[in-house]
């Protein structure tokens, strides 16, 4: 081949290969794989497993801290999640509010540390673990409303969609990728939608009523899956998170 034709030929071949690859590329699938983030050193090694972990069914007194948790609702401490964008870190008062009434663990090193901050009247300088870029505004409230209030799913399961198995950790560590592609992989999925009953009350699902569109800011296209159930995609509006 003439040497001047060689490069264009290679280029054309390359473009065709890329084109073929892109043409067969399918819709993104739901990404659920784990992607462990860095271990963040916290001022106090807070044991999430002890607070939120499952109860020890054998030892009913739950005395062994390595074996059982208290099954405290995530939202008891991260109380802003259901009413604001951020989940929030509990104030020191919340920790002390319980722990001043739990004398049995008062001499444990972490609790001693906790009360040092309390006596010094200083907030604990917790470090951010799930730190999104400044141009991303994830809304906790929306997701809590959708999954916990409307669909009645268990709290720990719902929080775990993005935060992983925090109830088995000491201090939290990022388990999911929390990238835009990862978020979108869920929003691009056709989720089953449950229509409200005659009184407009959601029957454990998401109403597609006359006025309330839980998915997008426009009435979603009502598509049906193979089982005949009504499905809709999540919002895909850039200005929902970036603004």
Pairing verdict, β 230-232 and 191-192: antiparallel
Query: Phi and psi for 231 in degrees, rounded to 5?
Result: -130, 160
User: Taking contact as CB under 8 A, which single stretch among the options 44-52, 59-67, 97-105, 138-146 is the one that binds other proteins?
Assistant: 138-146
CB 203 within 8 A of CB 197: yes
Residue from 160, 233, 152, 235 nearest 192 by CA: 233
Distance CA 164, CA 157 (A): 9
Closest C-alpha among 162, 156, 151 to residue 194: 151
* Nearest in space to 178 (alpha carbons), one of 160, 164, 162, 166: 162
Check binding of 14 to other proteins (CB under 8 A). no
Q: In sequence order, which residues have a C-beta less than 8 Å from that of residue 114 and are 6 or more positions away?
A: 44, 92, 95, 96, 99, 124
Q: Quick one: which segment of 23-31, 106-114, 122-130, 164-172 binds other proteins (CB under 8 A)?
A: 23-31
Among 16, 219, 222, 229, indicate the residue that binds other proteins (CB under 8 A): 219
Task: Select from 3-11, 21-29, 103-111, 154-162 the region that touches other proteins (CB under 8 A).
Answer: 21-29
Binding residues among 70-109 for other proteins as defined by CB under 8 A: none
* Residue selected from 214, 230, 232, 234 as contacting other proteins according to rule CB under 8 A: 214
Identify which range of 39-47, 54-62, 132-140, 171-179 contacts other proteins by CB under 8 A.
132-140
In terms of CB distance, is 84 or 100 closer to other proteins? Answer: 84
| CA neighbours closer than 13 Å in the CB half-sphere of residue 236 | 12
Q: Which of 64, 71, 203, 217 binds other proteins (CB under 8 A)?
A: 217
Taking CB under 8 A as the rule, does residue 240 contact other proteins?
Answer: yes
Applying CB under 8 A, the residues found at the interface with other proteins are: 19, 22-27, 133-135, 137, 139, 141-142, 145, 200, 207, 209, 211-214, 216-219, 237-240, 242-243
């Amino acid at each position: 081949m003439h040497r001047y034709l060689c490069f264009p030929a290679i280029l054309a071949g390359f473009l065709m290969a890329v084109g073929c690859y892109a043409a067969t590329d399918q819709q993104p699938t739901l990404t659920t794989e784990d992607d462990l983030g860095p271990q963040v050193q916290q001022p106090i090694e807070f044991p999430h497993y002890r607070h939120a972990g499952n109860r020890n069914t054998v030892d009913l007194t739950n005395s062994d801290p390595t074996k059982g948790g208290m099954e405290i609702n995530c939202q008891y401490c991260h109380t802003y999640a259901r009413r604001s964008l951020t989940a929030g870190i509990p104030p020191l008062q919340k920790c002390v509010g319980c722990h001043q009434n739990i004398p049995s663990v008062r001499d444990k090193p972490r609790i001693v540390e906790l009360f040092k901050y309390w006596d010094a009247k200083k907030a604990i300088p917790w470090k951010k673990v799930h730190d999104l870029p400044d141009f991303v505004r994830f809304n906790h409230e929306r997701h809590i409303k959708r999954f916990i209030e409307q669909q009645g799913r268990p709290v720990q399961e719902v929080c775990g969609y993005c935060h992983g198995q925090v109830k088995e950790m000491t201090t939290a560590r990022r388990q999911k990728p929390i990238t835009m592609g990862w978020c979108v992989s869920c929003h691009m999925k056709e989720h089953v939608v449950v229509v409200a009953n005659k009184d407009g009350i959601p029957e454990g699902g998401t109403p597609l009523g006359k006025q309330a569109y839980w998915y997008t800011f426009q009435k979603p296209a009502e598509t049906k899956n193979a089982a005949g159930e009504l499905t809709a995609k999540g919002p895909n509006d850039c200005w929902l998170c970036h603004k």
